[in-house]
Amino acid sequence: MSLEVIILAAGKGTRMYSDLPKVLHPLAGQAMLTRVIEAAEATGADKIHVVTGFQSEMVRNHYQDSPYNDRIHWVEQTEQLGTGHAVSQALPAVDPDNQVLVLYGDVPLLEAETLTKLVAACGDSGIAVLTLDTANPAGLGRIVRNNKGDITEIVEEKDANIEQKTITEINTGIMAFSAAKLKAWLEKTNTNNAQGEYYLTDTVAMACADGLKVSSLTTEDEDSVQGVNNRLQLAELERRLQRKQAEQIASNGTTVLNLDRVEIRGHTTFGKDVVIDINVILEGDNHIGDRVRIGPNTVIKNSRIGSDTCIEAFSHLEDCEIQLACQIGPYARLRPGTVLCDKAKIGNFVETKKTVIGKGSKVNHLSYIGDAQVDEAANVGAGTITCNYDGVNKYKTHIKSNAFIGSNTALVAPVTVGMGATTGAGSVITSDIPDGQLAIGRGKQRNIPNWKRPTKKTD
Ligand code: UD1
Ligand code: CA
């Protein structure tokens, strides 16, 4: 007997007021549905079925190039006739000997451990419900228990009587079943209720009618079962999740100067004694090495930062590999394909792209270095530009070790600056410079004596 997960994601998400399907809205940088799929994966599920309906195409396309796509069995629910109907659409592909776990695509912070416990609780009875005691049960299905404390049914708010509405134990929507029993029960559901829908929750009363004891598991962690119906709820969940992540990295040994002003959107790992100043955004997959200091208002996306590197304020790094003890910023922009070798230095208002900066080399001020290879211990002067693009094609610049590029040099690629070569300030370099030579490529200065400045004309 193995586990199959059915994720419901066909709903319209009307209250998001969005062209984007609700389940694709990101929470901490990841689509809500992706988080649910990851939770499903973490339970060790054998198969994952995702039921889509509203903007199906868009949802499926989102996963086309993802590693999950091969794992997902997509199911179409053309009309949204209720949670019971949605699950029924997936059941023909489910092995009756297996267990089924039902999740919602808009409940993004599920904990795999809780899910695994719920599935285990399902056991002999073949049905288990994840419940929550909450101060705000409004709008949710209430768990009705008899005087022995056994669950007898789940009543939707719209179908509930006054007494049932006072119940504070609610259905999170997460349920586990034996597939065979679920099939039998769903075949018997009807739409005789306030919403005219097929309710998945009706299976509970049916199990009781079959003389079975409905198992339940109550979670204490409200956020982990919180559904998102509008952007306010999404924003609130985002804040709570960010705070929790910040607390987690702080507990694990990172100095976070303000727990409410660091954003982790994706997966970042940290070495020892990292210091993070305020308004730092870590996006995608990053690794931050030991003793790295990240200055305020810095964005780091899909990058590896080597130990002892210091990134000063207002820097932006994407798809970069930063080796040991580099110095970056303030106001540096390191674009995809930038590699800084040990002890390289990138100063203020410097942009790099597809460029390797060799060990100990420096580009300290106001430069654009793209499609370039800078070898070791070179000094690239202020205002140096690699002219890498002729409007159609891109070309490479190679600056060899110990070269000294004078201020405001334009390096018209393809071009190579030899080892230990020098360029005069303001040069436009269009041909290769042999090792050790000085290249000057600019108009000569003339000093004109007795020059009279123009005077203001009067009419
Ligand atoms: C459902 C539960 C309720 C529970 C609540 C928790 C039922 C009848 N009610 O109510 O007991 O307290 O969730 O949030 O199950 N969906 C489909 N196809 C459909 C209908 C829904 O895929 O035809 C999906 C939605 O996209 C959503 C999820 O199922 O992800 C829940 O649907 P929703 O309409 O939000 O259910 P609730 O009325 O909130
Ligand atoms: Ca809902």
Give the pLDDT mean for 258-279. Answer: 98
* DSSP letter, residue 207: H
Alpha-carbon separation of residue 178 from 93, 97, 189, 208 (angstroms): 14, 7, 17, 15
How many angstroms separate the CA atoms of 122 and 214, rounded?
Answer: 8
Q: Is the CB of 5 under 6 A from ligand 1?
A: no
CA 367 to chain centre: 31
Whether the Cβ atoms of residue 362 and residue 353 lie closer than 8 Å to each other: no
* Nearest atom in ligand 1 to 13's CA: 26
Sign of the dihedral defined by the CA atoms of residues 221, 224, 227, 232, in that order: positive
How many angstroms separate the CA atoms of 457 and 159, rounded?
Answer: 89
How many angstroms separate the CA atoms of 333 and 348, rounded?
Answer: 9
Q: Is the CB of 201 under 6 A from ligand 1?
A: yes
pLDDT tier at 428, thresholds 50, 70, 90: very high
Give the pLDDT mean for 149-165. Answer: 98
Q: In the prediction, which pLDDT does 94 show?
A: 98
pLDDT digits (tens, 9 = 90+) for 366-382: 999 999 999 999 999 99
In this structure, which amino acid lies at residue 52?
T
Rg (C-alpha) for the chain, rounded Å, is: 31
Q: Is the CB of 173 under 6 A from ligand 1?
A: yes
Give the pLDDT mean for 221-236. Answer: 97
Q: Dmax of the chain from CA atoms? A: 112
How many angstroms separate the CA atoms of 230 and 228, rounded?
Answer: 6
Q: Is the CB of 156 under 6 A from ligand 1?
A: yes
pLDDT tier at 123, thresholds 50, 70, 90: confident
Q: Is the CB of 171 under 6 A from ligand 1?
A: yes
Q: In the prediction, which pLDDT does 228 show?
A: 97
For residue 73, the CA-to-ligand 1 centroid distance in Å is 20
Q: How many CB atoms lie within 10 A of CB 363?
A: 29
Tokens 């904990």 -> residue? 111
Dihedral of CA atoms 87, 92, 94, 98 in degrees, nearest 10, equals 90
Q: What is the pTM of this model?
A: 0.93
Give the residue among 386, 391, 417 at the shortest CA–CA distance from 404: 417
Give the pLDDT mean for 299-327. Answer: 99
Whether the Cβ atoms of residue 400 and residue 421 lie closer than 8 Å to each other: yes
Q: How many CB atoms lie within 10 A of CB 267?
A: 12
How many angstroms separate the CA atoms of 108 and 6, rounded?
Answer: 14
Give the pLDDT mean for 111-117. Answer: 97
Q: Is the CB of 11 under 6 A from ligand 1?
A: yes
How many angstroms separate the CA atoms of 423 and 218, rounded?
Answer: 72
Q: In the prediction, which pLDDT does 124 show?
A: 84
pLDDT digits (tens, 9 = 90+) for 189-216: 999 999 999 999 999 999 999 999 999 9
pLDDT tier at 244, thresholds 50, 70, 90: very high
The residues near 133 (Cβ < 8 Å, ≥ 6 apart) are 168, 169, 170, 218
Q: Is the CB of 85 under 6 A from ligand 1?
A: yes
- Facing residues of 301 across strands? 283, 318
Q: Is the CB of 108 under 6 A from ligand 1?
A: no
* Nearest atom in ligand 1 to 104's CA: 30
Q: In the prediction, which pLDDT does 368 show?
A: 98
pLDDT digits (tens, 9 = 90+) for 135-156: 999 999 999 999 999 999 999 9
Annotated catalytic residue: which of 62, 73, 287, 365? 365
365 tagged catalytic: yes
* Nearest atom in ligand 1 to 53's CA: 22
Q: Which ligand neighbours the alpha carbon of 140 most closely? A: 1
For residue 352, the CA-to-ligand 1 centroid distance in Å is 49
pLDDT tier at 303, thresholds 50, 70, 90: very high
* Nearest atom in ligand 1 to 80's CA: 23
For residue 150, the CA-to-ligand 1 centroid distance in Å is 23
The strand ranges marked E within 248-402 are 255-256, 262-270, 275-276, 280-288, 293-294, 299-301, 304-305, 310-311, 316-318, 320-322, 327-328, 332-334, 338-340, 345-357, 362-374, 379-380, 385-387, 397-399
Average pLDDT over the chain, rounded to an integer: 97
Q: In the prediction, which pLDDT does 385 show?
A: 98
Q: Which ligand neighbours the alpha carbon of 12 most closely? A: 1
* Three-state DSSP state, 62: helix
Q: Write the residue with the smallest CA distance to atom 37 of ligand 1.
A: 140
Q: Is the CB of 140 under 6 A from ligand 1?
A: yes
> Among 23, 33, 104, which residue has the most ligand 1 atoms within 8 Å of its CB, making it the best to mutate?
104
Whether the Cβ atoms of residue 58 and residue 29 lie closer than 8 Å to each other: no
For residue 442, the CA-to-ligand 2 centroid distance in Å is 69
Q: In the prediction, which pLDDT does 451 show?
A: 95
Q: Which ligand neighbours the alpha carbon of 138 most closely? A: 1
Q: Which ligand neighbours the alpha carbon of 197 most closely? A: 1
The residues near 165 (Cβ < 8 Å, ≥ 6 apart) are 137, 142, 157
How many angstroms separate the CA atoms of 1 and 427, rounded?
Answer: 74
Is the confidence at residue 1, as pLDDT, over 90? no
Is the confidence at residue 360, as pLDDT, over 90? yes
For residue 229, the CA-to-ligand 2 centroid distance in Å is 6
For residue 228, the CA-to-ligand 2 centroid distance in Å is 7
* Nearest atom in ligand 1 to 12's CA: 26
